[in-house]
Amino acid sequence: MSTTVPPASAARSAVPMEPAEVADLLASAREVVAVLGAAAVGGIEQTLGPEGGNPDGAELVDLISSLEDLTAAAAALQARAAMELDKTRRAHEARQDVPARRRGRGVAAEVALAARTSLARGSTLLGFGKALCLEMPHTLSALAGGRLSAWRAMLLVKESACLPAPERVRMDRELCEDPERLAGLGDRQVGGAARAWCAAQNPAAVVERQRRAESERRVTLRPAPDTMTYLTALLPVAEGVAAYKALTEQVDAARAAGPAEAGETPRSRGQLMADALVATLTGCAPGERPPVLVNLVMTDRALFSGDSDAAEVPGYGPVPAAWARDLVRDSTQAWVRRLYTSPSTGALVAMDSRKRTAPAGLAAFIELRDHATCRVAWCDAPGRHIDHADPAANSGCTNGVNQQVTCEAHNYAKQAPGWSAIGPPSPTSSRVADHAPHRIETTTPTGHRYVSTAQPPGHQPARRPATGTWPRRLHTRPRGSPGERALAEALARAA
């Protein structure tokens, strides 16, 4: 396959400012995707060098540069499309007499689904498009021509968000009208140029932005590799420094008191600080495991007989069965809630708990099935609401079939005109074959449909038995199951 690549400078020439038909753009985009995708999978050939010599790679360098220009131009066009979708949706809702304050409520969610990303990212893309198209035309032109990357354009939008519209327009003109002004600058330098301009031209706006940032303090938890997590606190600088100083002083005092006792594994300064943080927050002694509620998405064999089926920790994800067994064994207190999955699909289909309050139990089941994460396609935000797919106002049932976990933003977005969601039909029997993975189909105002399927606990592929057949019905819970008896014996031995 032979490809002719224009010089990189050609892509950075002036971008013609003429409207284009959406249908033509869509056809062109699909054609480009097909050509580039085929080349990426099938491979590429280089033109022979002078006098038939070996290629020197110059064409590949030009191709890499031109593809970066293409990526930037695509980001600019995507920003324009997001802004136009917002304008179109608001105009349509105005004709339907939707109150002004409610117009455009679901546009960010539409953008997110179309871009196959989270709603938070969709909101960012929509805001990015509106800022570029309405207030920052020179930045948009630089992005479309490949002089700015999408991330550097985003930095300019982000750093100027505190400015009134007239000053933002002026910053855009002074920083981006001249192609040489930001040429050759890296990410940090571009962001620094924008911050310096804002601080010099409107220091009051910068101070107000810093004051608002303090109101956004929060604590978050993110998974890390090897069954670790990142517990992060976003704090004002004074409080953050004070908290860190308190931890360091506590650790320094402990190290000054003497070395580790005989037989105790020496701990580094970082380990001591982490242990001190956990001890302060949980009230457990350093090194002591906190009490734990184990949601066992595993058989008794996996918990007590060394089977390798993965376990699941809600809010984290799949973990090795051996690690889950150690967690139960090493905890000073442990509670077990048994969960049942369909042998054929791996879908969570029932939960057995001593906590018998129906609404709370149902909510817990749905949160575990959906991994406490928003179920809307491509959104991995933490779940905040147990939402009815078919609204309760429309006589939608309150059960595990019609309910799903959503983030706040998606729950509110689906209340906008033109949005709907539907769950699967209720199972007609308790046969295992009826328990397919839970699916929700969401329809947007444009008629686009997006299907979300609940991932089986542990994210393990469904497995068939090597021999025999699956039972026709799920077994009911006996009193004092073998798993509970084995757990009680294990805890008694550990005590």
Q: What is the pLDDT along the chain (495 residues), one digit of tens a residue?
A: 444 444 444 445 445 567 888 999 999 999 999 999 999 999 988 876 666 667 778 889 999 999 999 999 999 999 999 999 999 999 999 999 999 999 999 999 999 999 999 999 999 999 999 999 999 999 999 999 999 999 999 999 999 999 999 999 999 999 999 999 999 999 999 999 999 999 999 999 988 888 888 888 999 888 788 778 889 999 988 899 999 999 898 888 877 776 666 556 777 888 888 888 888 888 877 666 666 665 555 555 555 566 666 666 665 667 777 776 776 666 555 555 555 555 555 666 555 433 323 356 778 788 878 888 898 999 888 888 888 888 877 777 777 788 888 988 898 888 888 898 888 775 544 443 446 788 889 999 999 999 988 877 655 433 333 333 333 333 333 444 444 455 455 545 544
In whole angstroms, how far apart are CA 271 and each of 58, 234, 467? 50, 21, 48
Q: How far apart are CA 305 and CA 298, in angstroms?
A: 11
Which letter, b or e, does each residue of 480-494 get, where b requires 16 or more Cβ atoms within 10 Å of its Cβ? eeebeeebeebeeee
Q: State the residue for tokens 């040429």.
A: 183
- pLDDT value of residue 39: 93
Q: Which residues contact 59 (CB under 8 A, 6 or more apart)?
A: 3, 5, 46, 47
Rounded to the nearest angstrom, the gap between the alpha carbon of residue 335 and the centroid of all alpha carbons in its chain is 30
Q: How far apart are CA 302 and CA 308, in angstroms?
A: 6
- Alpha-carbon torsion (120, 125, 129, 135), positive or negative: positive
Q: Which of 345, 354, 292, 352 is nearest to 323 (CA)?
A: 292
Report whether 421 contacts 442 (CB < 8 A): yes
In this prediction the pTM is 0.70
The HSE-up count of residue 160 (CA atoms within 13 Å, CB side) is 30
Which letter, b or e, does each residue of 217-249 get, where b requires 16 or more Cβ atoms within 10 Å of its Cβ? eeeeeeeeeebeeeeeeebeeeeeeeeeeebee
- Alpha-carbon torsion (138, 142, 145, 151), positive or negative: negative
Report whether 296 contacts 303 (CB < 8 A): yes
Ordered alpha helix ranges (H), 115-159: 119-134, 137-144, 150-159
- pLDDT value of residue 295: 57
Number of H helices, E strands in the chain: 17, 12
- pLDDT value of residue 356: 29
Report whether 80 contacts 154 (CB < 8 A): no
